[in-house]
Amino acid sequence: MEYKSTNPSIAVIGTGYWGKNLVRNFSALGVLQIIVDTNSEILDRMARDYPDAKVTASYSEVLNDPAVAGLAIATPAETHGALVREALLAGKDVFVEKPLCLSETEGQELIQLAEERNKILMVGHLLWYHPVLLRLKALVNNGDLGRIRYIYSNRLNMGKLRREENVLWSFAPHDVSVILGLVEEMPESVQAQGGNYLHQRIADVTVSLLSFDSGIRAHIFVSWLHPFKEQKLVVVGNEKMAVFDDTVPWGEKLMVYPHHVAWHGNIPLAVKAEAEPVAVEQEEPLWAECAHFLHCVATRERPRTDGKEGLRVLRVLNACQKALKDNQAVPLLDREVSSDQVFVHPTAVIDDDVTIGPKTRIWHFSHILSGSVIGGSCNIGQNVVIGPGAQIGKGCKIQNNISIYEGVTLEDYVFCGPSVVFTNVFNPRAEIPRMKELRPTLVRRGATLGANCTIVCGVTIGRYAFSGAGAIVTRDVPDHALVVGNPARQIGWMCQCGERLGDDLVCPVCGAAYQESERGLEPEHS
């Protein structure tokens, strides 16, 4: 990453275990103006090491200095909320080390305050500025590992022992941030367990399990009572596996293992392959993080790890802490939705005479018209219009910018990708009313409609069928069929798990076997 200084002046608040590293990097970037700490011995040492910077014990002095554009806060976590608030109110851009604060309500207020004041709010989740993690993220996004199955992270060491926070809050924020960014969704629920060995109220070892709606599972093992240091992240896909080990030499930090599972009949066989190192250009992550903050201050771009990302991490940490305390799973996505409630975003509009099942979530700017029926546990994305009189089964996922008109029925567990188009009249004219000519459309259980595909009215999409992105579906699609193109044509078959079947009609991933039927395919022995 290249950084060209525009000379915004930065003050670093707190120069202890981690703050001294921020001082070093902002000084190297040529923007360090003030160092703040309440420890006089530390200030004397900083004055000797950084003679060009002013040192002070007064936070208010920094807030009142118009020459200071941004603050980097590296104080104890319990002080973050108050310090960030004061800085934003004083008109400063803020970089705060993890966590953003300790209260979710306070975190939301800080985000809103930053937006109202048009100020940068960035959280120090360092790994998102590590070139190796960014390369790993690219592998995941490009599909090089296939479908992600599970992720685990180990962050283990002997010390540094803390008394102001437990190991979950000290070590795990980095891993929570990374996993949420790789998966790009919030967990449905979390579980956690641990042990308090040095102090009866402070956990020294914790294991957290994150469960996602997509089926991905992730676990995080953190400990400061471990015989050796380990910082390892493993991402397992159905095609390849990747390991990010931050304790080994740079050239070995990211390794890809092309292991896969071959199915012989219904018997899985592990096929191992040699690990392949992934070349990544070397750069100090903290330097890149500090440079990114300066770039955002200069350009007003939203930081890669902004306040909203920090709040998501905080929500997961709080849920893990509660699970640790209560020794039971904690739902996360349903915080605003009890077992018999529906979540509707304040910008969404719900007409009268609408039926919505429990745990369904309806997001920004969507509109549900009268007479529509939506089953339970659905997720309705942004800018979605449903109805009037549309029928949506349970467990459906309808992504952004979709209109589901009268006459369209989705059975249970249908997935609609972004901007899917449904029609309900075959040959519409603006000046000729033709709603009496409506042709019903049926999408059967478990079908997937890819992004930007069009479903011409009057067709039936079979069970667990798969319409590729951009396809124009003009006729019925058999159960489990894979169709692509304009007009859509069948090019294969799909398993219920979402994988393409081979010529033997056996799934190469889950091993399910199928046979032909009048409606397409059906599982063997069904």
Q: What is the pLDDT of residue 482?
A: 96
Q: What is the pLDDT of residue 335?
A: 40
- Rounded to 10 degrees, what is the CA torsion of 512, 517, 519, 523? -20
| Count of CB atoms situated within 10 Å of the CB of 24 | 18
d(CA 99, CA 96): 8
CATH superfamily of 9-119: NAD(P)-binding Rossmann-like Domain (3.40.50.720)
Query: Would you kindly state where each structural domain of the chain is located, as residue ranges?
Result: 9-119, 129-282+315-331
Q: Kindly state the tokens that stand for 225.
A: 């009572």
Q: Are 311 and 102 a contacting pair, CB within 8 Å?
A: no
Q: What is the pLDDT of residue 339?
A: 45
Residues 6+ apart with CB under 8 A from 178: 125, 127, 128, 133, 153, 233
Q: 129-282+315-331: what fold?
A: Dihydrodipicolinate Reductase; domain 2 (3.30.360)
Strand order in the sheet with 397-398: 343-344, 361-362, 379-380, 397-398, 415-416, 448-449, 466-467, 481-484, 489-493
Q: Are 210 and 187 a contacting pair, CB within 8 Å?
A: yes
Residues 6+ apart with CB under 8 A from 105: none
| Count of CB atoms situated within 10 Å of the CB of 277 | 11
SS3 per-residue string spanning 261-282: EEEECCEEEEECCCCEECCCCC
Task: Output the tens digit of pLDDT for each of the chain's 526 residues.
Answer: 444 445 689 999 999 889 999 999 999 999 999 999 999 999 999 999 999 999 999 999 999 999 999 999 999 888 999 999 999 999 999 999 999 998 899 999 999 999 999 999 999 999 999 999 999 999 998 888 988 889 999 999 886 666 667 888 888 999 999 999 999 888 989 999 988 877 777 888 999 999 987 788 999 999 988 889 999 999 998 889 999 999 999 999 999 999 877 777 667 778 888 899 999 999 999 999 999 999 999 999 999 999 999 999 999 999 999 999 898 988 886 444 344 578 888 888 999 889 999 889 998 889 999 999 999 989 999 899 998 999 999 999 999 999 998 899 999 999 999 999 998 888 888 888 777 778 899 999 999 999 999 999 999 999 999 999 999 999 999 999 999 999 999 999 999 988 999 889 998 888 889 999 989 999 886 4
Q: Kindly state the tokens that stand for 490.
A: 């069948």
DSSP per-residue letters across 71-138: EEE-S-GGGHHHHHHHHHHTT-EEEEESPS-S-HHHHHHHHHHHHHTT--EEEE-GGGG-HHHHHHHH
Q: What is the pLDDT of residue 289?
A: 97
Q: What is the pLDDT of residue 336?
A: 40
CA distance to 198, 257, 266, 278, 342, per residue, from 240 (Å): 40, 6, 21, 13, 39
Produce one character per residue of 446-459: b if its CB has 16 or more CB atoms within 10 Å, e if not.
Answer: bbbbbebbbbbbbb
Q: Kindly state the helix (H) or strand (E) to which residue 191 belongs, with its residue range.
A: strand 187-195
d(CA 330, CA 334): 9
Name the DSSP class of 223: E
Which SS3 state, helix, strand or coil, does residue 293 take? helix
Q: What is the pLDDT of residue 266?
A: 66
pTM for this predicted structure:
0.68
Phi, psi angle pair for 310, to nearest 5°:
-65, -35
Q: What is the pLDDT of residue 5?
A: 45
Q: What is the pLDDT of residue 2?
A: 44
d(CA 341, CA 247): 47
